[in-house]
A = this chain, B = another copy of it.
Amino acid sequence: MSKPAARTRLADAAFALFDEFGYEQTTVDDIAERAGVGRTTFFRHYRSKEDVIFPDHDRLLVLIRERLATSSHSTALVAVSDAVRLVLLHYLDEGDLARRRYALTSKVAALRDREIASVARYQRLFREFIAEWMGDPTESASLRAELMAAAVVAAHNHVLRRWLRGESSDPIAEVDDAMREVLALFPASQSFGETGGGGTTVVAFRTEQDLEVLLPSLRRLIEGGAEQ
């Protein structure tokens, strides 16, 4: 048991030192020394100093790509909403580790940037998936794909950050709510590659808003339902 995988010891040492002295004050040499290995070994296990903290973004990215590839959902947005859950679940699995990472990324700008860059890769994946799924090369469809991907990621981040801050006791339920909210943002027709021959519906409601203000969104709803 003296060698429970050098990789693990390195991660433990890193987090301990980061907590105690801060990220920038800790050198890779320090980490390797505390882990009882050479400096070379550190870089053999982690590509960079930042990598100790974000070890499996790459793996997650692949996981999501597979999930999307094999997904059979009615709309692209639903498929993506489902896939993003993987990310949240991964963080939840990490438990306390994720929170320690959050404490670090909150303090160190370089780490925050790194995290943001990772999330952007998810978002890009989603955008491409949605765009491809819609199979509509028009500029307007491309914009919608971009908006959808951004919304899904934003909703996920919102829930995740709440949980990381200890403000949420049931993040799973919250992410479901949030995803419903996102789904509601985009009239379903926009998520369909082709409109299924659905039944017509008439809806009426009251609002205190001026008609003027509501008009654009209503037009969207109607146009989205009738055409495209």
Which A residues have a C-beta under 8 Å from some C-beta of B? 112-114, 116-117, 120, 139-140, 142-144, 146-147, 149-151, 153-155, 157-158, 162, 174, 178, 180-189, 195-211, 213-214, 216-222, 224-226
Contact = CB atoms under 8 A, between A and B. Distances in A.
A189 B216 contact: no
Describe A's contact surface by its main secondary structure. helix
A147 B181 contact: yes
B189 A208 contact: yes
A140 B213 CA distance: 21
A128 to B, nearest CB: 13
Given A150-B150, A184-B216, A214-B203, A225 B208 contact: yes
9 interchain residue pairs of minimum CB distance: A207-B225, A150-B154, A188-B213, A113-B117, A184-B216, A184-B217, A150-B150, A204-B204, A198-B208
B181 A143 contact: yes
Nearest to A74: B213
Given A113-B114, A154-B146, A205 B221 contact: yes
Given A153-B150, A154-B149, A206 B188 contact: no
13 contacts: A117-B117, A146-B158, A147-B158, A150-B150, A150-B154, A180-B216, A181-B216, A188-B210, A188-B213, A195-B208, A201-B206, A203-B218, A217-B221
A183 B219 CA distance: 12
Nearest to A219: B184
Contacts of A185: 147, 185-186, 217, 220
A155 B147 contact: yes
B202 A214 contact: no
Contact of A143 (B146, B178, B209, B220): B178
Contact of A200 (B197, B203, B206, B220): B206
A208 B218 CA distance: 14
